[in-house]
Amino acid sequence: MSESCPDQIRDVMLDCVADGVFTVDQDRRITCFNRAAEAITGVPRAEAIGRHCYDVLHGSRCEDDCALQESIRTGRPVLCQGCAIVNAQGQSVPLSISTALLKDREGNVIGGVETFRDLSEIERLRKELARTYTFQDIVARSQPMREVLELIPRVAESSTTVLIRGESGTGKELVARAIHDLSPRRDKPYVAVNCGALPDSLLESELFGYKAGAFTDAQQDKPGRFAAAEGGTIFLDEIGDVSAAMQAKLLRVLQERVYEPLGSVEPQQADVRVIAATNQDLDQRVRDEAFRQDLYYRINVMQLRLPALRQRRSDLPLLVEHFVSKFNAIQGKGISGVSQRAMLVLMRHDYPGNVRELENAIEHAFVLCPGGLIDVHHLPPELHDGPSSEAAEKIGHVTLEEMEAMHIAETLRRHGGNRDAAAKALGIHRATLFRKLKSLDIRLPDADR
């Protein structure tokens, strides 16, 4: 009995480990198989003991690249390598495995030991996060943006003209590109034109092209952007800035699906989907007779409104993480993230330039930050020279829980204590908001308004 006690103690200890653990002899026959290994593989311990490990695990690395065999052969451990096995139910299970030598008390090699962690839940969550929080290069989890993301696939299925409205820097072109990439026209060209950046004379030739001799320097024919986008999508950014004369020409394209290059009398067919965008109040411009009502109706068949960043602050930590990863890759740096004080400053800024302004702020910080965490003094002066910076200095090193409480309290304040509106802005359910208010000890306003 006394000789078997160490084995019993070993088995009890291994059964308390959450990771799968098994040992093999030098012939790779299993000598020990813990409870977690049974659960992950679906193979009972009694069936596993004495069998070759590759007959039990059916792993993707078992035949040609066995990590356990490599450890036994070289004497070196293998740490946290990815692989997949097929469990007893025939399902593929992603794992992270580590292996090492197994020696007796005299130091003689008697086999090997492998630990493996089931990554199924992590993989599921990763896919869920990727599906829910990212769309193309759009990073979002807030309710206002989720509503937009849910519409994009449905809008993409048709060839309907789309109007994207939102302030400068909210990501209108990203949404336009996402619509094209999900549409039946995805294999055809996507062409973007900034209508506000060109005067009328240049914009017309840029959009519709010209024939040789149309003007002094026109030595040969040049196709325009509508021709370049044939069969695909053309994105007309800042359409609210175009002149009345140009609006009439765009109206003809949308109504009749034809256009005429400069210097030509032969109309060209336009098999092009039009997506337009503006940061202006087109309804007001129509009332002011600065924008044609008939053109407005033509481009406003399907409208997507992008919220400003100040209306989706719960997305800000995700966006910061996204931009840190992006600039680490571009600049070859190892910035690990943003300090809590810097995050507090970022959370309190109103971002008139929206996501583009946030991206520029992180890029600015990358220039000044040598490594480690981005702190307040690495941020642009317009962010850290104001009241938000003073608040960050007073608070010092706040915890993530404290930061979450401040963010929720600030959101409630901005919405006048209306919990429904605050929950929507935070991208959470009303019941979740109430749980957080209680757990974080946030004082409620006297009544909903």
pLDDT tens-place string over residues 250-278: 999 999 999 988 877 788 899 999 999 99
Please name the amino acid found at residue 334. G
The CATH number covering residue 215 comes to 3.40.50.300
- Whether residues 162 and 139 fall in one domain: yes
pLDDT tens-place string over residues 134-161: 565 687 878 888 889 889 999 999 889 9
Judge if pTM exceeds 0.75. Answer: no
- In a domain, residue 445? The reply is no
Average pLDDT (168-187) is: 93
The total number of structural domains in the chain stands at 3
- In a domain, residue 446? The reply is no
Whole-number Å distance between alpha carbons of 81 and 77? 11
- Whether residues 158 and 196 fall in one domain: yes
Residue 283 phi/psi, 5-degree rounding, is: -60, -45
- Whether residues 365 and 300 fall in one domain: no
The CATH number covering residue 15 comes to 3.30.450.20
More confident site: 70 or 156: 156
- C-alpha distance across the termini of the chain, in Å: 74
* pLDDT score of 3: 42
Burial of 167 (0-12, 13-18, 19+ CB in 10 A): buried
- Whether residues 184 and 165 fall in one domain: yes
- Whether residues 241 and 290 fall in one domain: yes
- Whether residues 114 and 132 fall in one domain: no
- In a domain, residue 447? The reply is no
Q: What is the dihedral of CA 175, 178, 183, 187, to 10 degrees?
A: 130
pLDDT tens-place string over residues 75-116: 888 887 778 888 887 777 888 888 888 888 888 888 889 998
* pLDDT score of 449: 42
- Whether residues 75 and 134 fall in one domain: no
* Structure-token match 């929720």, residue found: 408
Cβ contacts of 237 within 8 Å, gap of 6 or more: 172, 173, 192, 193, 194, 195, 196, 276, 277
* pLDDT score of 302: 95
Whole-number Å distance between alpha carbons of 210 and 212? 7
* pLDDT score of 447: 44
The CATH number covering residue 320 comes to 1.10.8.60
Q: What is the average pLDDT value for the chain, to the nearest integer?
A: 83
Tokens linked to 66: 């066995």
Burial of 438 (0-12, 13-18, 19+ CB in 10 A): exposed
- Beta pairing class for 258-259 and 233-237: unpaired
Full domain range(s) for residue 430: 311-439
